[in-house]
Amino acid sequence: MVETQAKVISVSEQAVTVTAQRSTACGGCQSSEACGTSSLSKLFVRNTVELTIPNTHPVEVGDEVVLGLSETAFIKQLLVAYFPPLIMMMLAAGFIAQMSESQSLQVLSGFAGLLLGFALTRILKSKIMLIGDEPRIIRKLGDAVYE
């Protein structure tokens, strides 16, 4: 189970809205101060993410909770996020490479395939997410595990 901490910001009978700190792999590296990738991630990545999840446990606004996502759901989401853009980019560039020797045209078609792959990812994300694949509250910090 992949876990992260979050803070409850809204509660209703059906759903709980939480906010969690987004972390990147660059945050823990010793050379993150001198790294260009770390600097770019600070510029372009929002620090918090807001999620609305089913209300399955007694929580109140302000509670600190631990959210969990199964490894299967995590891997499924990774596959849906990364493979369609990558495959569409390679297919588009490869198809044009068979038709034309122009590298500029191949690069442009690869970029177009990448954008098409991102659009496909948005469509697949909503279709593939099944009940049970969303994050859920495992426990309030300081309480016993709810599972």
Q: What is the CATH number of the domain that holds 52?
A: 2.40.50
Mark whether 4 and 60 lie in a shared domain. Answer: yes
Least confident of 37-41, 78-82, 109-113: 37-41
Tokens encoding 123: 């469509």
Residues 48 and 94 in one domain: no
Q: Are residues 48 and 58 in the same domain?
A: yes
**How many structural domains comprise the chain?**
2
Q: Indicate if 22 and 63 belong to the same structural domain.
A: yes
Residue 16 burial (10 A CB sphere; 0-12, 13-18, 19+):
buried
Looking at the structure, tell me whether residues 8 and 56 fall in a common domain: yes
Task: State which residues form the domain around 85.
Answer: 71-131
Q: Which of 39-43, 53-57, 106-110 shows the lowest mean pLDDT across its residues?
A: 39-43
Looking at the structure, do residues 2 and 64 belong to the same domain, yes or no? yes
Residue 116 banded pLDDT, cuts 50, 70, 90: very high
pLDDT of amino acid 53 = 86
User: What pTM does this model have?
Assistant: 0.63
Q: Do residue 58 and residue 75 come from a single domain?
A: no
Closest among 16, 109, 27 to 8, alpha carbons compared:
16
Q: Rounded to whole angstroms, how far apart are CA atoms 133 and 54?
A: 12
Q: pLDDT tens across 16-50, in order?
A: 989 887 665 555 566 556 665 655 555 655 577 88
* Cα-based distances in Å from 64 to 7, 8, 135, 140: 5, 6, 15, 6
